Structure 1
Amino acid sequence: MVLVGDGGSTKTEWVVVDPERGPIKRFRTKGINPYFYTFAELIEELKQAVVPETVGIALTKVLFYAAGCGNPSSTKILTEAFEACYGSSIETHVGSDMLGAAIALWQNEDGIAAILGTGANSCVYQNQGIVKNVASLGYILSDWGSGAVLGRDLLSEMLTHKMDPKLIEAFYDKYEINKLDVLDRIYHQSKPNKYLASFTPFLKENSFHPQCQAILEDNFNKFFDYYILKYSEVENLKIRLAGSIAFHFSEQIETIAVQKGVEIDKVMQSPIDGLIDYTVDKSTVL
């Protein structure tokens, strides 16, 4: 049996897959990003949330794709954490969420893959691997179009009273927070990116309002300029997107795509189903 995990900063989706028969169990845990955990905390999280879900299942392999796993040190830490929980005999492969999304979106084909969820990223995927990848700098320095940056921009406009008074009133009625609450959550508590992304439903609900439209258009324009149009391959490869923001704001994103002269071939809310198909088809390693 193969345990397949697709982890973002907000949530992680898991599936136990029989390579011959397909998925036999699904479950979800909170996001597992090694940037936000110590080694001991990673082990504790796996033991509390993941191991109990696989009791009695003869796992032979773990395939885990996650935000924050794009460098060797993070990959090593997570590999060792899985081995601490399941034993060193289990075959463990850890890769970036970008690789997982690219595999899910393109399988054995070539194309441009992008993530728009809590964070943002993209790559050129060819010959079943990432051959080009723009720098992923996180929600403070880049990640335009992501849930974290959309939420950040919305909060900035709200807290500086630049929004329509009716929108401000609706916002505070919905979330029942004040400036001190926001500053405490962002600067003094863990996972501020997840907190910021939690405000994107307000943008979705009010996407017809010109000020919300402006935030969305500014972000998605910057997303295409940085994450898509930087690649010369955009001239001959199709584009596919994965992630909650890509899915829920697909109409706005496709409008900007047309303006940029490119076409979105496919949008997938979560990569996990594509990863299941790939695992069943190939019983693959990374």
Structure 2
Amino acid sequence: MIVIADGGSTKTNWCLINEFGRKILFNTEGYNPYFSKEDYIVESLNKTLPDTLDTDKLTQVYYYGAGCSTDANIQIVKKAMGKVFTNAEIFVGHDLLASCRALLGNESGFAAILGTGTNTCIYDGKDITLNIDSLGYFLGDEGSGSYIGKRVLADYMKAFMPEKLRKIFFDTYGLSNEDIFDNIYNKPLPNRFCASFSKFIYDNRQNFEEYSLQVVDTAFTAFFENLVTRYPNYKSYKLNCVGSVGYNFRDVLSVVSDRYEMGVGKIIRSPIDDLVEYHLQQQKNS
């Protein structure tokens, strides 16, 4: 039995392929090694993996995760996985590679992630050949859920958002400025906290169209200005994208992409289905 996983900073999508070839999908939280260390990952997996999953029978684990871009971070996740999946051969790779394989398969092109965080690259059909670091939610991650969420929080705290929407925000979350500061500066996973408020914009978009479009358009414009347009000959590629933010606001993303004269290719919410098909095809070809 093998299991394939795509892990963002917020959520991990898993697919088990059992001995009969049946696909079984399940979710756990996300395990970004910049925020989640080995012991935490082990404890979380032991608590949240399905009780019906016999980890001893797994022979291969393919885990693609946010933050798994350095040898040190890969080892954090790999060691944690090894303590849970004790009999399996474990592969740990970057979630950006998962997105490339899901979006492009064995074809070359441009791939991006727009979820809790942001990432982009050029892919040659096998490997990532060029990646401009998005610098994480403190210094970058333009266009991401955390980027949009920080704008929403700032507008709320400064009373810049429409007053009726500001009231809806307080009625929904009941957060004071002090509560927000506490979550950002004193509690774990502040990137996930910030990103959660991008959903607020999505949920209230219909009644506050002008403000919502302005927030999202600004975020995607920053995404193009600081990341996409920095790639040589970026206009020769189509924008292929995975992630809830890119998918939920794909109409705005398409408008901004057209503004920068870049065509739009495949936009999907989650890579897991296409990623599973990629691995099944690779097994057939091997």
TM-score between both structures, scaled by the size of structure 1: 0.92
2:235·2:261 contact (CA, 8 Å) conserved in 1? no
Greater mean alpha carbon deviation, residues 189-198 or residues 111-120:
189-198
Greater mean alpha carbon deviation, residues 240-249 or residues 202-211:
202-211
Instruction: Specify the alignment match of 2:73 in structure 1.
Output: 74
SS class of match (1:34) = coil
**Structure 1 residue 46, shift from structure 2 partner:** 2.4
Indicate which of 119, 122, 132 corresponds to 2:120.
Answer: 122
Instruction: Specify the alignment match of 1:59 in structure 2.
Output: 58
Moved over 4 A (4+): none
**Structure 1 residue 20, shift from structure 2 partner:** 8.4
Quick one: distance in 1 between partners of 2:276 and 2:85? 21
Indicate which of 142, 146, 153 corresponds to 2:151.
Answer: 153
2:134·2:142 contact (CA, 8 Å) conserved in 1? no
Identity of aligned residues (%): 33
Amino acid at match of 2:72: S
1:19·1:281 contact (CA, 8 Å) conserved in 2? no
1:114·1:227 contact (CA, 8 Å) conserved in 2? no
Give CA-to-partner distance per residue, 1:79-134, whole Å, 9 cap, x none. Answer: 122222222x5211101111111111111111100000000001101131100000
Indicate which of 101, 104, 115 corresponds to 1:103.
Answer: 101
Runs of at least 5 residues in structure 1 that lack an aligned partner in the other structure = none
SS class of match (1:54) = coil
2:3·2:15 contact (CA, 8 Å) conserved in 1? yes
Quick one: distance in 2 between partners of 1:218 and 1:233? 23
**Structure 1 residue 51, shift from structure 2 partner:** 7.1
Runs of at least 5 residues in structure 2 that lack an aligned partner in the other structure = none
1:228 aligns to 2:256 (yes or no): no
**Structure 1 residue 143, shift from structure 2 partner:** 0.6
Give CA-to-partner distance per residue, 1:7-66, whole Å, 9 cap, x none. Answer: 111111111125983x52111011111112232222222222237452177211100000
> What is the total number of aligned residue pairs between the two structures?
282
2:5·2:63 contact (CA, 8 Å) conserved in 1? yes
Amino acid at match of 1:83: G
**Structure 1 residue 73, shift from structure 2 partner:** 0.6
Instruction: Specify the alignment match of 1:11 in structure 2.
Output: 11
1:29·1:50 contact (CA, 8 Å) conserved in 2? yes
TM-score between both structures, scaled by the size of structure 2: 0.92
1:85-234 aligned within 5 A: 85-87=84-86, 89-207=87-205, 208-234=208-234
Amino acid at match of 2:129: V
Which structure's relative contact order is higher, taking Cα pairs within 8 Å and 6+ residues apart? 1
Greater mean alpha carbon deviation, residues 37-46 or residues 52-61:
52-61
SS class of match (1:283) = helix
Quick one: distance in 2 between partners of 1:52 and 1:99? 29
Q: CA RMSD in A?
A: 1.9
Greater mean alpha carbon deviation, residues 47-56 or residues 3-12:
47-56
